[in-house]
Amino acid sequence: MTTVAIMGATVVDEDGERAGPVVVDQSTKQVVELDPAQADRELDATGCILVPAFVDLHVHLRQPGNEAAETIETGSRAAALGGYSAVVAMPNTTPCMDSAAVVTEVLSWAESALCHIKPSAAITVGRDGHALSPMGELVELGVRMFTDDGTGVQDAQLMRRALEYAGSLAADDGAEIVLSQHCEVTALSQGGVMHEGAWSARLGLGGQPAEAEELMVMRDIALSRLTGQRVHVQHLSTAGSVEMVRRAKAEGHPVTAEATPHHFTLTDACCADYDTVFKVHPPLRTDSDVDAVRQGLADGTIDAIATDHAPHTQDSKERPFDAAPPGMLGLETAFALANTELDLPLAKLLELMSTRPAWIAGLGGRHGCPIRPGQPANLTVIDLDHAWTVDRGRLASLAVNTPFHGRKVKGRIRHTIYEGEPVVIDGKATR
Ligand code: DOR
């Protein structure tokens, strides 16, 4: 038996705040009631907080198909260093995660990961928007979230059928099957490589209007109402989208939503030097959109902070702005950015980064749990006051495309415990 006593931290979870210590057991993977003096080892957490580890609803791990950008191993290490115990892997791999064979392979690679990798799967075969994937079979393998992320399902009738199909499926753990939508009407965004507005006009770059996102948010809220099925809206980026989700929730529709750290910290003005590290889908928007996303996070309209961690090789990001792939890293900087930039109480941050996303992903009961004996030991120790500067050369991710290089932030992940095992100690991964 390997037991670890986490000493000196203030425990913060849905039960409130209290003094530690907390003991975890790697063999049962749980928090245990044990005299800390009897534990096999100690972890110093003096002056830190001990919280339920985070859950990310949206990461690209690139395996299979683009292991030069990231792998399940390197991505899970980045996640652990970011304080995560679980991440939902997006299906836009090569081949796409739209079949039992590919999902089974991903699950086998995930066994040795430094956090729980929960594969999502495509809504449509090949993510090409024409035929539904074998969702029933994929649910039996443990998939709880379906998405064509990278693109949205353009055909409203097919999306309606997908929602109805999801509603007919029963997972053996009782979790709801969730359709997670990248909201973008491609007929309107086509040719756009950044937000359509004053900056795209000045830079001579094709723009994606806010309405390309908002039309699909509107349509999917309508489809949620029609089918009674929950729709999860990915990476909300416009004030109009936030307002529509706010209204849908007020009307009682089962809609949930996420926002990324880059959409609450950066604007389209960042693209001024044509630096492709700022190219992302949906694109960076305006100051008023950033304000609306922050307001949505504060008032409960947006349920979760999700990173949309999207590693890309340097070669591909060195192409011209029009030709470079969209996406930016997120896992190792998300908590520090939220802690530094959002004026939110810690309890709210934990809800946004741990409890709500765990519930949305069907991982409640295993992640985002209160820190009590008998509960899963997926925990993070954070030094809230530790100031540091993001350095792309020191990230665990294989890629370096962080838009936050050089940014000063506050709040450092000190230790991460995954299933009772310290996978990060003093800011370093243990394997
Ligand atoms: O910027 C993005 N990058 N947005 C997406 O929807 C996909 C992602 C990727 O896979 O690189």
Does residue 92 line the site of ligand 1, with CB under 6 A? yes
Does residue 317 line the site of ligand 1, with CB under 6 A? no
Q: What is the DSSP letter of 127?
A: G
Q: How far is the CA of 430 from the centre of ligand 1 (A)?
A: 29
All CATH 3.20.20.140 domain ranges in the chain, comma separated: 51-360
Q: Going residue by residue through the chain (431 aa), what tens digit of pLDDT does each one get?
A: 599 999 999 999 999 999 999 999 999 999 999 999 999 999 999 999 999 999 999 999 999 999 999 999 999 999 999 999 999 999 999 999 999 999 999 999 999 999 999 999 999 999 999 999 999 999 999 999 999 999 999 999 999 999 999 999 999 999 999 999 999 999 999 999 999 999 999 999 999 999 999 999 999 999 999 999 999 999 999 999 999 999 999 999 999 999 999 999 999 999 999 999 999 999 999 999 999 999 999 999 999 999 999 999 999 999 999 999 999 999 999 999 999 999 999 999 999 999 999 999 999 999 999 999 999 999 999 999 999 999 999 999 999 999 999 999 999 999 999 999 999 999 999 99
Does residue 281 line the site of ligand 1, with CB under 6 A? yes
Q: How far is CA 254 from CA 233, 249, 303, in A?
A: 11, 7, 12
Residue minimizing CA distance to atom 7 of ligand 1: 150
The confidence score (pLDDT) of residue 33 equals: 97
CB 171: neighbour CB atoms within 10 A? 14
Residue 172 makes CB contacts below 8 A (sequence gap 6+) with 140
Q: How far is the CA of 310 from the centre of ligand 1 (A)?
A: 6
- Give dist(CA 74, CA 329) in Å, integer: 12
The confidence score (pLDDT) of residue 1 equals: 57
CA atoms in the 13 A half-sphere facing the CB of 174: 3
- Give dist(CA 20, CA 249) in Å, integer: 37
287: annotated active-site residue? no
| CATH, domain 51-360, list 1.10.1240.10, 3.20.20.140, 3.40.50.11720, 3.40.190.10 | 3.20.20.140
The confidence score (pLDDT) of residue 116 equals: 98
Rg (CA), the chain: 21
Identify any residues that bridge with 116 across adjacent strands, giving them in sequence order.
86
Q: How far is the CA of 312 from the centre of ligand 1 (A)?
A: 10
Q: Ligand 1: which atom is nearest the Cα of residue 60?
A: 10
Q: Ligand 1: which atom is nearest the Cα of residue 310?
A: 11
Residue minimizing CA distance to atom 2 of ligand 1: 327
Q: Ligand 1: which atom is nearest the Cα of residue 328?
A: 1
Q: In this predicted model, what pLDDT tens digit does every residue of 215-232 receive, in sequence order?
A: 999 999 999 999 999 999
Query: Tokens 């980026």 label which residue?
Result: 237
Out of 56, 220, 289, 308, pick the active-site residue: 308
Does residue 367 line the site of ligand 1, with CB under 6 A? no
Does residue 150 line the site of ligand 1, with CB under 6 A? yes
